[in-house]
Amino acid sequence: MAEVGHSARRPGDDRDEIPQYEVKEQNSKVLHVEAVGRLWRARLSARDISLQEDQELDVVAVAGELGCTLDTAAELKLVCSMDALKCFEDDNVVDPDIIPQDTELVTLGIRKKILEDREENLIIDRTSRQETFAYELESHALGKKPQNQSDLVEAGELVLTLNIFYPVIFQKHKEHKPYQTLLVLGSQRLTELRDHIMCVSDLQIEGEFSTTPDLAPDHISKDLYKSAFFYLEDTFYNDMRYPECRDLSRTITEWSESHDRGYGKFKKAKMEDYTLNDLHIKIGFPYLYCHQGDCEHIVMVTDIRLIHRDDCLDKTLYPLLVKKHWLWTRKCYVCKTYIARWVTNNDSFASDDPSLFCDVCFKMLHYDAQGNKLGHFLAYPYVDPGIFI
Ligand SMILES: [Zn+2]
Ligand SMILES: [Zn+2]
C-alpha cells in the first residue's frame, strides 16, 4: 500500500479531487436574537448606544484617550471637524450637478458623459431608471426622524436584515436571487414581517369574467387565503390571526408523525405571539416561509445589529424595504402605454395567446356600447407584479 501523508504531492494525486470547502460555515450556530442585543448593550457605553446626534468631542477626553497634549487634541479636533471637509466657502457653493471643466477625476468624467448621453436621448435607459429607483427607495427612509416622538425607535433596539427569495415557482430566479431585502426591528412581531413580504401569488384574482367584467372582484388572494407559516429551527410559526386561518403546517407534521421518518417532533407556535427578539436562529441559514398553500420562499437573516443614530428612526416605517429586485411592468398590447389589467385566452380579437390589455382598451375592444360581450375569449383579471413595492 502506498505511503501517504509524508511524501511530496505528486501530479494527479487523488487528494486534489477531494472537495475542500474554502468557506467552512456559511451560517452561524443557533443564537437567541435578544441575547445578541443584550451582550452588545452590556459592552457598549451609553453614548455609543444613544440615538442623539453625536455630541461634540471633548478635547480633554480626546487628549486622555490618545495620550497627547491638550494643544494637539485641539488641533486634531479642528483638522478632523466636518468643516474641514468643505471644499468651498459658504458663499461660494457650486451646483453639484455642474461638473468643472478642469477636473482630472475619472469618476467625474464618466458622470459627465452619462449626463450628456441622457440629455441627447429622450428615452431613459434602463440603468438610469434602476439607479433612480434605488435612490428613491433609499432616500425614502435614510436618517429619517419621526414626526411624532412616540414613534421614535428605542435606543439599543436590534435591527435584523432579511433577504426574501423568489418562490420556487419562478424558474428563472429559483437559484438564489433575493428580491426583497427588509430591515426588521427585533421588537416587531413575525406577523409584521409576514405582512411586508410581497409575492405575486398573493395578488391573484381568481375567476373568469369575460361576460361580467364589471363584477371582477377587487380582493386579491391575500385577502381570501390568509394562512401562512414560517419554519424556523424545528418550529412552525403559523399565522392564526383571523378565524379563517388554517394550520398550513398540519399536513407536514402529520406526515412526519405518521411513521418514524427521522425528523423528530416538530413544534408549533402562533406567528403573532412571537417577536424576532424571541427567536433562536442561525444567521445566514435558509429558512422557509410558506403561504397561499404551497408558495414557498427561502428567508434568510443575513445580519443582526444594534440600531444607529444614522438609521431610519421612525419605527412606523419598519419593516423597511431597502432593496427590491427591479421588474418590468407588462404593458397593454393595444395602447402600449398603460399597465395591463386583463389577460385573455383564445381571444378572437387578438393575435397573441395570452394577450394583455389595460382596462380601457380591454372594454373598448371586447364589448359594445351597451356592455355586451363581442366575439370569443376568456378574460381574467391580471395583477402586474411590477406595480407593488
Ligand atoms: Zn409567494
Ligand atoms: Zn391600453
Three state DSSP letters for 325-361: CCCCCCECCCCCCCECCEEEECCCCCCCCCEEECHHH
Cell, residue 338:
398603460
Task: Give the per-residue pLDDT at 133.
Answer: 75
The closest ligand to the CA of 332 turns out to be: 2
Mean pLDDT (whole number) for 183-209: 87
Closest listed ligand to the CA of 357: 2
CA of 45 to the centre of ligand 1 (A): 42
Q: Which of 140-144, 177-181, 256-260, 310-314 has the highest mean pLDDT?
A: 310-314
- And the C-alpha cell for 326? 427591479
Q: Tell me what pLDDT residue 1 has.
A: 40
Ligand closest to the CA atom of residue 165:
1
Residue 97 burial by Cβ neighbours in a 10 Å radius (0-12, 13-18, 19+): exposed
DSSP designation for 10: P
Please name the CATH architecture into which domain 129-205+215-324 falls: Roll (3.10)
| pLDDT value of residue 325 | 78
pLDDT at 92: 65
Q: Label residue 293 left, alpha or beta by phi (over 0 means left) and psi (-120 to 50 means alpha).
A: left
Going from the Cα of 235 to the center of ligand 1, the distance in angstroms, rounded, reads 20
Spatial separation of the C-alpha atoms in residues 138 and 127, rounded to whole Å: 16
List, for residues 296-330, the tens digit of each pLDDT value: 888 999 999 999 988 999 999 999 998 887 777 88
| pLDDT at position 272 | 95
Q: Are 345 and 193 in contact (CB under 8 A)?
A: no
The ligand whose atoms approach the alpha carbon of 336 most closely is 2
How far, in Å, from the CA of 363 to the mean position of ligand 2? 10
Q: How confident is the model at residue 34 (pLDDT cuts 50, 70, 90)?
A: very high
Confidence at residue 290, expressed as pLDDT on a 0 to 100 scale: 92
For the cut 70, the answer to whether the pLDDT of residue 26 exceeds it is: yes
pLDDT score of 35: 92
What separation in Å is there between the alpha carbon of 39 and the centre of ligand 2? 58
Angstrom CA distances, 48 to 42, 61, 184, stand at 11, 15, 21
Measured from the alpha carbon of residue 359, the closest ligand is 2
What is the percent of the chain where pLDDT is above 70? Answer: 83
Q: Across all residues in the chain, what is the average pLDDT? A: 82
User: Could you tell me the three cell numbers for 156?
Assistant: 439599543
Measured in Å, residue 130 CA sits from the centre of ligand 1 at 24
Please give the single-letter amino acid code of residue 163: N
User: Given this model, what pLDDT does residue 383 score?
Assistant: 83
- How far does residue 11's CA lie from ligand 1's centre (Å)? 50
Whether the link from the prior residue into 217 is cis, omega within 30° of 0, is no
- What pLDDT, on a 0 to 100 scale, did the predictor assign at position 318? 95
- Predicted local distance difference test score (pLDDT) of residue 225: 77
The whole-number pLDDT of residue 315 equals: 93
* 198, 180 contact by CB (below 8 A): yes
Give the number of the ligand closest to the Cα of residue 289: 1
Q: Which of 115-124, 227-236, 237-246 has the lowest mean pLDDT?
A: 115-124
Q: For residue 295, how far is its CA from the centre of ligand 1 (angstroms)? A: 4
> Cα(155) to centroid of ligand 2, in Å?
50
For residue 343, report the distance from its CA to the centre of ligand 2, in Å. 12
Distance CA 221, CA 383 (A): 11
pLDDT tier, 88 (very low <50, low <70, confident <90, very high otherwise): low
Give distance in angstroms: CA of 168 to centre of ligand 1: 9
Q: Which ligand is nearest to the CA of 340?
A: 2
- Length reported for the chain: 389
Domain with CATH 3.10.290 in the chain: 129-205+215-324
pLDDT at residue 3 in the model: 41
C-alpha cell at 287: 429558512
The confidence band for 5, taking pLDDT boundaries of 50, 70 and 90, is: very low
Q: Which ligand is nearest to the CA of 292?
A: 1
Ligand nearest to the CA of 166: 1
- Around ion ligand 2, residues with a beta carbon closer than 5 Å are 332, 334-335, 338, 358, 361
* Axis crossing angle, helix 59-66 with helix 70-79, rounded to the nearest 10: 110
Going from the Cα of 26 to the center of ligand 2, the distance in angstroms, rounded, reads: 48
Residue 9 falls in which region: left (phi positive, over 0), alpha (psi -120 to 50) or beta: beta
Residue 25 CA to residue 21 CA, distance in Å, equals 9
Q: What's the CA gap between 165 and 278, in Å, rounded?
A: 23
DSSP reduced 3-state for 271: helix
Residue type, 228: A
State yes or no: pLDDT of 193 exceeds 50.
yes
What is the 199 CA–ligand 1 centroid distance (Å)?
Answer: 4
Average pLDDT (331-342) is 91
Taking the CA of 295 as reference, the closest ligand is: 1
329 CA from centroid of ligand 2 (Å): 13
